[in-house]
Structure 1
Amino acid sequence: MTHPVPPRRPVLLGRGSWSEARRIAGILRKETVGGALLLVAAVAAMIWANSPWAEAYESLRDLRVGPEVLHLNLSLAGWAGDGLLAIFFFVAGLELKREFVAGDLRDVRRAAVPIAAAVGGVILPAALYLLITRDVAGAGKGWAIPTATDIAFALAVLAVIGRFLPNALRTFLLTLAVVDDLVAIVIIALFYTDTLAPLPLAAALAPLAAFTVLVQRRVRAWWLLLPLAVAVWALVHASGVHATVAGVLLAFTVPVVRSERAGGPDAGPGLAEHFEHRFRPISAGMAVPVFAFFSAGVALGGLDGLVSAFGDPVVLGVVVGLVAGKPIGILAATWLTARFTRADLDEGLAWVDVAGVSVLAGIGFTVSLLIGELAFGVEGGEHVKVAVLAGSLAAALIAAVILRLRNRTYRRIHEIETADFDHDGVPDVYTTGPPGKAED
């Protein structure tokens, strides 16, 4: 008498498809270079801001350029935060849309994990921050500072300490950070808009609609698209909504799927992939490092200044939120998702691996600095900068310890994931059926 084979339990954090693995690897290479540039820019700003020439740094940061009549007479730091980061959020929006339309996350079961993790990684650090700063007047407006993940900074750390990290964990970190960016932009739009001018916001719909029509028709001409994108950005900025929101709105209009017309203008990569390929190097190589240069320069004031900063409950709230709240929230949400779906971790992975990546997600540099400036202003957020830098550094060091302890296991998984015994150019773990047939 034969016994029925019990159904296989769902897999949590599976390695996904070969096409997705290749795409993720390409993104990670570019973001890792961007992360290195970000670190260089941040260190340069810190050194300059604490040197005898600190006034020159402040003068450069506060130098105002741009037409006043268009409400664009901004400081260089303002141009970096409002302008260059719009490029960063445009790329993040493209990545998010592509993940859910054509990536592995179009599968609801796979999408549930990073979405739940991102939500958990926002709720708990915000709650811890509010708990710690509950008796400090005005501190509550900084609740969102410890909720963000800086993918470029995290990947720069990963390049040093986690070269052999399994593809599933890399994908989890990247998709978590992308969803995290969307949550951040929603938070910025809803909670950090002090005054709203409805007329410019309504006027922004006209160039946005024109941009949408053109990209839906697979038009790539920069001389048509760029003026419309700048117009959307300028009008959103004039409305009082943070201008980076314009980047996400524009990204969501771009089609992901290739045109099926023979010989059509979109033959080859989809338009979203085309734009992502063009703008990711600008985002990672220029926009984020320049923003970091103008935002990370904080005068520490020596040992006394550091002691004073860490006596501020806001600093303590941000550090605890990043170092403890972020990883615990991500890990708890992922574990609850596994329990709810009755899923098991993929073969070779353990919960300590998820914990290591969750701690790494506590690096909240770029968006945390942006939210700190929105909450407390450039001058009022000096302690916030110290907190973000300290919390991100602590998260990086703790993650390094956890992930290095598992390095031998990661090497073994890496060997399996890269083995190609049939020499067809596709690792054998991604092939099914006849040799050489890769998973889609």
Structure 2
Amino acid sequence: MTVLNNDIFLLISEHIYDQQDKTRLLLVCRDWYSLFLPKVYRRVSLKSDQIYPLVRSIQKNPRIGPSIRHLWVEWEGGHDSDEGAGIEIDELLKTLGTSESDESLDEWKAALRFGCADAWLVVLVLSVEFVKSMDMNASYSGYFFPMLGQIIKGNAFGSKPPLQHLEIASVWTDDMKTHYMANDLLPFFSLPAMREFNGGGICEFEDDNSEEPVVTVSGPGTSKITTINIGGHHSNNGCKGMADFIHSCANLEIFDYQHDNKAIWGEIYLDIRPLLFYRALYSHRHSLRELRLNNQGEDESIGFDEGNDGRWNGFGSLAEFHQLRELQIPFCTLLQFGTTNQPRVSLVEILPSSLEYLNLSYCDDENFDLVIKNLSALLARREQFPNIKKLEVKPLFVERIQGVLGEFRVPASTQQRFAPIGMICRELGIDFGFNMHGTHRLL
């Protein structure tokens, strides 16, 4: 019988996707165990009741922890593992660099003995030294995020800091009634290898001056994160313009934020405050390449935000953002309508010559003439905007296609109104069209 080369075995294993099937490879023989162990544990997906068993496996086999590069964790609050109850913690604490006499960690240590999955996640993260990406749906965390902050600040454990190789962190929730506090997630911006932060269900509170950012443990402008994506289909509410996140970065290149008026379900509702986002992003005018600001989020004021008296409804010029290539933003925000029905500026005044793709979102029928006028002026200044390759208009109102579930179209009247713009774009070699992705209202 011909013995296959180990490289061939590894190539074959690339086509095994089920985690249980991968684990079975380890049971064939000792040679396969040694060969496939790093492969099997390279990507790990866990539910809450699997956190403690994995930690136990890592303690028994130190090769497992360093093999984990991508960690996906999801749990529901209050889920405890009976397996962890009554476990001897002393040796574990010594391994982590703390001791039984450390009273500041008493509550966490008690949670470990009780088998709390959230408490054991702290131990897991301290055990995966070379993890590069973490994807977490953990909105009910009572220990992990506070403990992570203490660890990174050096206030907990004597061992070397965790997550030093982490490049991508994704923290989100699919429950509209839950949220994360932005301040609890700031420690991620202090990690040395971090390049991308993704979040959903993140909220800021007005518990201090809304215009004063809170610096991270490493100080402002020190994070190497270049991408902040707080968008997608998860609700967020940044009443301070996510300034703490933005100011933490040295050279932010991509920023995506989608707003939800709900900050805390049933308690706090806050409108978006564009000016605070602009003030924070202005410090990255030398590096920002893509900006998507509430082009899919909630754009209507709900009238409950008494703290927003109009001071933060404006925006500012992007003419100095010389690296900006993509811009997706509500038309009224970009042209600084504020509380009036008239724009304060024009597109040719506030857009940079570097722009390649412009998406004007939430264009109301009553503003179509203004949109067309501004686009016409923009296209007439081809020498000022030589890089424009694509223009899109996102109508506020669309119509449902009868008989087709979940499908919509731009009304014929809207298409006719913008036909002259489409004709000019074709002559100039610019792609023009309508965008219906994300939130919209039906006719």
The two structures share one fold, judged by TM-score above 0.5: no
The answer to which structure has the higher strand fraction is 2
Larger RCO (CA under 8 A, 6+ residues apart):
1
The answer to which structure has the higher helix fraction is 1
TM-score (norm 2): 0.21
TM-score (norm 1): 0.21
